[in-house]
Amino acid sequence: MYIKIKLDEKERQTLLELAKTTKLKDLYKRAQIILFTDEKVPVKEICKILNISEDTVEYWKKRYLKEGIEGLATKPRSGRPLKADNEYISKLKEVIIKSPSNFGYAFNCWSLGRLSAHLKKETGISISESWLSKILHREGFSFKKPVRTLKNKRDKEEYEDAKKDIEKLKKNSKFR
């Protein structure tokens, strides 16, 4: 026996707004389950549309009836708390927008390793480069590997002289 849900206009509008504004895929699907159920869409059709099982549909309908819209949110899970708490992420955001030279480093581009080491020094929390990469992505930052070059280390005059000498050698070469 499938669970039936009848929404009033306020509940319907709240769920529509939630589905429209949330960035969380799971929360979107849960809101859609309730909205489809209210529209009397068959459970098997909901499963096809959202690519979920019938058990999942029934679970979220039960939870919605029991807890209301708050019941659609993901509850905290058990286990070790995250190392990268809100304070760490705030510090990360504060650091990432500044050049490493502002912190006294001789380089001017953050790499994951350098950023991780700096944040460990600042916060005492050690985060792996791969996890730091995921956090940065989740927070909307993008990055690429730095291209290492020695252009800023060379003497410009000597470089131009050497370039001219090479051009002369190429012109005078008998292997052209």
Give tens-digit pLDDT for 121-175: 999 999 999 999 999 998 888 877 767 777 777 888 888 998 898 988 888 876 6
pLDDT, averaged across the chain: 89
Q: What percent of the chain has a predicted confidence (pLDDT) above 90? A: 62
Residue 33 has pLDDT above 60, yes or no: yes
Can you give the pLDDT at residue 29?
Answer: 95
**pLDDT in the model for residue 174:** 67
Q: Cα(43)–Cα(2) distance, rounded to whole angstroms?
A: 8
- Is the CB of residue 109 less than 8 Å from the CB of residue 146? yes
Specify the range with the lowest mean pLDDT, choosing from 16-25, 34-43, 54-63, 80-89.
Answer: 80-89
The whole-number pLDDT of residue 17 equals 94
Residue 45, pLDDT above cutoff 90: yes
Average pLDDT over residues 98-125: 92
Listed residue (130, 38, 135) closest to 89, CA to CA: 135
Q: Which helix (H) or strand (E) holds 130?
A: helix 129-138
Here the tokens at position 51 are 């690519």
Rounded distance between C-alpha atoms, residue 101 and residue 19, angstroms = 43
Query: Looking at this protein, which amino acid is placed at residue 115?
Result: L
Contact 109, 100 (CB under 8 A): yes
End-to-end CA distance of the chain: 86
The letter for the amino acid at 22 is T
Q: State pLDDT tens for residues 59-73.
A: 999 999 999 999 999
Residue 176 is predicted with a pLDDT of: 56
pLDDT of residue 1: 61
10 Å CB burial of residue 158 (0-12, 13-18, 19+) is exposed
The two three-digit tokens of residue 130, written as one number: 């791969």
51: left (phi over 0), alpha (psi -120 to 50) or beta: left
pLDDT at residue 2 is higher than 90:
no
